[in-house]
Structure 1
């Protein structure tokens, strides 16, 4: 059974008149988290798409990139997107329910933030309203500000990403500490670890782009410090 078949079933199970946000109350068990993760990214992505006042083809295409949506599953994904966009509940309500669904799994919430940054940057611009949206979601998710900056530095091209921010270490950190941080991030970005946190297999493209950024930051720091 594909992730999109399971998503369609989860949405169909909502009682008549229940908003899409109610689905997160039923998806807290680990086997169901992959469904919850996919719906969360699509739902918050739909809310964010309204933040800059428009929904572009690039933003819609970004969902396909993150989740590798097959042609036959596009209608199901579009339905979730439209349900979230039309729901009168604010994005804060969605974010709080998603936070409750994942509980103390902070890494899964950061994975979700990463998907939202990917969507925000799909059209090549980072609107101030999108930044405000993502910062407020990160606050509800209890994502530390340093971690939020770390995520933003990898996606927003207002300047070359600071490799120290990408690895989440201070500029005066020792090479041993930086190496430890790099190895930890590489380990946490392994597809098996990410799937264990609730990412659906279809969303593992996030791991590819994250791993590339982590390794590039490590290489840049080594080069800057003259260490091979």
Structure 2
């Protein structure tokens, strides 16, 4: 399924359980402003890691497939926009202004941009900075960015969300439930009750400590985000 048809399907379903009255009427894929902004963001991302190559359009087209009859215009716009990264923030702001009431659509655009960045097997720090700035301009949570980054690039083994087994943007109550469940399962008292040797109890104590540390880190990060947003 092409990106545009996926976006159209989201719009028809009424994402976020709302009618999205603040969004322009019709389907995003049929909105020239939407198509222009997405094309420009994809093209300028190709330039973010240095030299943009002509064959990178193939990667863009594989993700954001143009509707029949519009590919020529989109290719011309792409070739023009990829000359520089300057101006990408303006395109991101336009999408936020028009589709801010439909965050799932904006997240899908960011998801597609991650695919483009990772297509050559290496995502540079400049590309990550570009994507993080787009996420910010879209009004999406840093935790959403973290989840998408982990989805496309993998997460470190010591990432607290990996330890707890939840998505970075999982609700607080889901994080808390996961912490309690894992702590209960790994509690040293369980090992003692089963009569396991001392070394097994030490392993359980270390695991419980890691689970508690992960939960504390998540709480600290989320408090910092809340204070920053205030």
TM-score, normalised via structure 2 length: 0.54
Specify which of 163, 166, 188 is matched with residue 164 of structure 1. Answer: 166
* Higher RCO structure (Cα 8 Å, ≥6 apart): 1
List aligned pairs for 1:54-69, cutoff 5 A: 54-56=51-53, 59-69=56-66
2:48 aligned counterpart, secondary structure? coil
Structure number with greater Rg is 2
Unaligned runs of 5+ in 1: 5-27, 179-228
Q: What does residue 46 of structure 1 align with?
A: 43
Q: Quote the Cα distance in structure 2 between the aligned partners of 1:40 and 1:94.
A: 5
**Deviation sequence 1:103-158 (CA, Å, 0-9, x none):** 32211111111111111111111110001111111111111111110111111146
8 Å Cα contact 1:37-1:112 kept in structure 2: no
Q: What does residue 174 of structure 1 align with?
A: 177
Q: 1:62 to 1:72 in 2, by over 3 A?
A: same
Once the 2 structures are TM-superposed, how far is the Cα of residue 57 of structure 1 from its aligned partner? 6.0
List aligned pairs for 1:121-160, cutoff 5 A: 121-157=118-154, 159=156
Q: Quote the Cα distance in structure 1 between the aligned partners of 2:25 and 2:51.
A: 34
**Deviation sequence 1:153-181 (CA, Å, 0-9, x none):** 11114657945226735784436xx9xxx
Q: 1:88 to 1:58 in 2, by over 3 A?
A: closer
List aligned pairs for 1:16-27, cutoff 5 A: none
Tell me how large the CA RMSD over aligned residues is: 3.6
State the aligned residue count: 153
Is 2:40 the partner of 1:29? no
Once the 2 structures are TM-superposed, how far is the Cα of residue 71 of structure 1 from its aligned partner? 8.8
Q: Quote the Cα distance in structure 2 between the aligned partners of 1:59 and 1:88.
A: 15
Q: 1:73 to 1:98 in 2, by over 3 A?
A: closer
8 Å Cα contact 2:48-2:127 kept in structure 1: yes
Q: Quote the Cα distance in structure 2 between the aligned partners of 1:32 and 1:80.
A: 21
Once the 2 structures are TM-superposed, how far is the Cα of residue 41 of structure 1 from its aligned partner? 2.3
8 Å Cα contact 1:59-1:120 kept in structure 2: no
**Deviation sequence 1:47-77 (CA, Å, 0-9, x none):** 1111101224663222222234589754332
8 Å Cα contact 2:100-2:138 kept in structure 1: no
8 Å Cα contact 2:40-2:82 kept in structure 1: yes
TM-score, normalised via structure 1 length: 0.55
